[in-house]
Amino acid sequence: MKEKRYEELIERLESIVEQLEKGEKPLDESLELFQEGVALVKTATKRLDGVEKKVEILVKDIRNDEHFEDFPEEDQE
């Protein structure tokens, strides 16, 4: 089974939230939607955590690169 992109996870989560907010679904179906939403949040959070770690590694690598120079910040006038 193909892993969904982060954006697809968020779209599905938004859809679930909209359905639950309407309050028109039977209790059992609402519970199933809620459970799916919780699983989506966990998956999206893990994905974001992984991306954050990769970015931290890349930034650390850039800072450790002996050829990297800090450029002065430009005045924002």
Average pLDDT for 15-44: 97
Q: Is the pLDDT of residue 42 over 60?
A: yes
Better pLDDT: 65 or 35:
35
Q: What is the per-residue pLDDT for 61?
A: 86
Angstrom distance (rounded) from CA 4 to CA 59:
27
Phi-psi region of 25 (alpha: psi -120 to 50; beta: other; left: phi over 0): beta
User: For the whole prediction, is pTM greater than 0.85?
Assistant: no
Average pLDDT for 12-40: 97
Q: Is the pLDDT of residue 12 over 90?
A: yes
Q: Is the pLDDT of residue 43 over 80?
A: yes
